[in-house]
Amino acid sequence: VAVVLAVTLRKGKYTFEDRILARCEKFKGSDCRLIWAKFQKAYVGRDPCNVPMEAYDDFIAATQFKPECNRMMFWSKTKDVVHDFTEKRDCYVTLEDTLLGSVADGLTWCGRVGSSETLTTGCPRWTDCENNPVRSFWSRASAAFAEKACGNVTVMLNGSIETPFSPNSTFRSIEVKKFDATVMRSLNVVLVTQTNSVSNCTNASLKDLQKELAAGIRYSCKEVSEAQIRECSSNPEKPCGACW
């Protein structure tokens, strides 16, 4: 403790490790030292463009992720509205609300060949190279979250763009492919609309979504205005089932 404090005081701010541990410790009963060790092992000492998603397999195993059936929420191009909703209301759980995703949400990190440090600046950006530590982390965590999706599952897609089921998105390229019909009953699309929305539930990309869904998983789609979702976020009296 004294050493951690000394380092923290010397640098005048929390280290990356401190931040990961603090976020992990919000989830009671987690072995945060083990989780940090496995997380680090994925990218420390490695070329930051050569970290495949499999590098995080041991981290995923260490988190012992348990799904909450019927409450799982996926999203694509709707980050702000969906997280505003899940933060204010206890209706749904996104990846970023679980231990799996919350430890790294909004952070950037990488390692360097010949070093045992975690760097937080000068790291590759999302599209600089595919196998970068941050992108591979999100791909692996998303795959783990999606393969456990169970019961009735919800996804918030963006009705203000031409292709709400977007080709290069994590939701389309990873999560939908991992959905398992033996544990998942339905996928319910909430298409978030605005006054000038360009898409509705008849959108061509949503037809593709139905085709790409494993046989046996039911599908539904509902257009819901962003205003209505925000109203539900700010009205805790409204039952979750009455939001849309």
Q: Which of 66, 12, 63, 7 is nearest to 33 (CA)?
A: 63
The phi, psi pair for 44, rounded to 5°, reads -65, 135
Q: In this complex, which beta carbon is closest to ligand DVN, that of residue 45 or of residue 162?
A: 162
DSSP-derived 3-state class of residue 156: strand
* 169 token code pair: 């998105």
- In angstroms, what is the minimal distance from the CB of 155 to ligand DVN? 7
Do 143 and 175 touch, CB atoms closer than 8 A? yes
Does position 126 interact with ligand DVN (CB under 6 A)? The reply is yes
- In angstroms, what is the minimal distance from the CB of 178 to ligand DVN? 11
By CB under 6 A, which span of 18-26, 30-38, 138-146, 216-224 interacts with ligand DVN? 138-146
DSSP letter for 174, please.
Answer: I
Maximum Cα interatomic distance, the chain, rounded to a whole number of Å: 60
Q: In this complex, which beta carbon is closest to ligand DVN, that of residue 35 or of residue 143?
A: 143
Active site residue 201: no
Among 59, 92, 171, 179, binds ligand DVN (CB under 6 A): 171
Does position 95 interact with ligand DVN (CB under 6 A)? The reply is yes
DSSP letter for 96, please.
Answer: G
By CB under 6 A, the residues from 22 to 61 that bind ligand DVN are none
Among 170, 193, 199, 203, binds ligand DVN (CB under 6 A): 170
Give the per-residue contact string, 150-169, with ligand DVN (x = CB under 6 A; - = no).
-------------------x
Distance CA 64, CA 6 (A): 32
CA 124 to chain centre: 20
Distance CA 106, CA 19 (A): 11
Does position 79 interact with ligand DVN (CB under 6 A)? The reply is yes
Residue of 24, 32, 110, 150 with catalytic role: 150
Among 40, 63, 76, 193, binds ligand DVN (CB under 6 A): 76
Nearby residues of 189 by Cβ (< 8 Å), 6 or more positions away:
154, 155, 157, 201, 206, 209, 219, 220, 221, 222
Active site residue 150: yes
- Which residues of this protein are in contact with ligand DVN, per CB under 6 A? 74-77, 79, 95, 106, 126-127, 138, 142, 145, 169-171, 175
Catalytic machinery residues: 69, 150
